[in-house]
Amino acid sequence: MDAETLEKQKKEITGQWGPWRAHNIQLHDQVYTIENRVLGDGLKLRRIMQIITDFAPKPVHDLTVLDLGCLEGLYAIELARQGAKVVGVEGRRANIEKARFAKEALSLDNVDFILEDVRNLSPERHGHFGVVLCLGILYHLDVPDLFRFLGTIAAMTDRILIIDTHISIVPRDCCVHDGKKYWGRIYYEFYPGTTDEEKATSPSASLTNEKSFWFTRPSLYNVLKSVGFTSIYECHKPREAQTWYDRVTLVAVKGDKTKLLTSPLVNSMSEDDWSEDKLPVSHPQRQSYFHAILWRLLQSSPKLRRILKLTRQLPARSTGLRRRGAQSLLRP
């Protein structure tokens, strides 16, 4: 398909379903779904693809991948272009139509996009996958759906689950599941009185639930352990454009429980859950507490903000706060 035809069809899609919000997909040499520059989820795509390349037991072209809450299809399209067999699941019709347009424009027959609420997934109907992507959707779910969802995707994951999600930096609210306490915070997705029609057209909120639950790091580790993942890793490289103190990219792996030969007594020991109040000072959760408190202090003190802004104009050796550090503290 030539560039002129693509541009015409893209204009028709955006006229009916709105412009692309975050997924800038190259459709032709100079035709992009948004525009010809790096923006949207481009840097996150690099992070996710590097994780898959590093962790997957097979080459990308031999993988089966499930992309949950696939939005406009960037990750699913990239994986399909690299040869993987991909299923993208998305709850909003506008996103699905734009993803399907990109699929057709690139002549891909190894990716399918399904209009479905991710809370309705099941391994019986949708199958099992070597890699499951749960990017930007976990923090839009509420309990008890949240626990059922994690149990379901654990059952559908043969090897690797990649989660990119907001977390709570303070253990403010508690919920109980299977007799265990999990901590985090309640987040309200919609203003009171929001109609179903307004919810359906809110691109950055949940589908229907009015509130969601954001786990703390320890509680998220614990629930992933409880549904069967044997190890969990947090990605710090490749970096993204912006550092979020309340957002993480985790890799949860399902494997066989290791057996030790030189320390066999350890094999019979149970593994303790992470505790909310026993984190080392160097752990990112503790650092998040510090930055959150400091940022709130800066927002309430214009004078302190001006002082920190001045430190950015000084040589790094002349102040205890390096210029780059001061800049990061001035960002939320």
Which domain does 21 fall in, by range? 3-256
Q: What pLDDT is recorded for position 194?
A: 84
Residue 293 within a domain: yes
Domain boundary, last residue among 256, 271, 295:
256
Domain boundary, last residue among 236, 256, 276:
256
Same domain, 132 and 176: yes
Residue 261 within a domain: no
Dihedrals φ, ψ of 93, to 5°?
A: -60, -40
Q: How many domains does the chain have?
A: 2
Dihedrals φ, ψ of 282, to 5°?
A: -80, -5
Same domain, 43 and 179: yes
Token duo for residue 138: 């976990």
Residue listed under structure tokens 């320890």: 218
Same domain, 34 and 73: yes
Same domain, 251 and 179: yes
Same domain, 89 and 180: yes
3-state secondary structure string across 215-244? ECHHHHHHHHHHCCCCEEEECCCCCCCCCC
Strands (E) across the chain are located at: 26-28, 31-32, 64-68, 85-90, 111-115, 129-135, 157-166, 173-177, 180-188, 211-215, 231-234, 247-253
Work out the number of other CB atoms within 10 angstroms of the CB of residue 29: 7
Same domain, 67 and 180: yes
Provide the terminal-to-terminal Cα distance of the chain, rounded to the nearest Å. 44
| Nearest in space to 242 (alpha carbons), one of 328, 141, 313 | 328
Q: Say whether the peptide bond before residue 144 is cis (omega within 30 degrees of 0).
A: yes
* C-alpha distances in Å from residue 103, one per residue of 25, 134, 137: 10, 20, 22
| Nearest in space to 206 (alpha carbons), one of 67, 116, 92 | 92
Angle at 54 between CA 49 and CA 57, to 5 degrees: 110
Residue 161 within a domain: yes
* C-alpha distances in Å from residue 228, one per residue of 150, 156, 169: 10, 11, 25
Token duo for residue 100: 């399907």
Same domain, 13 and 83: yes
Same domain, 223 and 132: yes
Residue 277 within a domain: no
Residue type, 180: K
Q: Indicate the pTM of the whole model.
A: 0.83
Residue 243 within a domain: yes
CATH of residue 121's domain is 3.40.50.150
Same domain, 323 and 229: no
Residue type, 246: D
Work out the number of other CB atoms within 10 angstroms of the CB of residue 265: 7
Task: Please give the chain's pLDDT, 332 residues, in tens.
Answer: 788 999 999 999 999 999 999 999 999 988 999 999 998 898 999 999 999 999 999 999 999 999 999 999 999 999 999 999 999 999 999 999 999 999 999 999 999 999 999 999 999 999 999 999 999 999 999 999 999 999 999 999 999 999 999 999 889 999 999 999 999 999 999 888 888 888 877 878 888 899 999 999 999 999 999 999 999 999 999 988 777 789 999 999 999 999 999 999 999 999 999 988 755 545 555 555 555 556 555 555 666 656 655 654 544 444 444 434 444 444 43
Same domain, 218 and 299: no
The alpha carbon of residue 166 and the mean position of all alpha carbons in its chain are separated, in whole angstroms, by 7
Same domain, 292 and 248: no
Domain boundary, last residue among 209, 238, 256:
256
Note whether 36 and 30 are within 8 A (CB).
yes
* C-alpha distances in Å from residue 267, one per residue of 71, 252, 254, 259, 273: 43, 21, 18, 6, 16
Residue 273 within a domain: no
Residue 64 within a domain: yes
Same domain, 181 and 299: no
Residue 105 within a domain: yes
**In the chain, count of helices (H) and strands (E)?**
11, 12
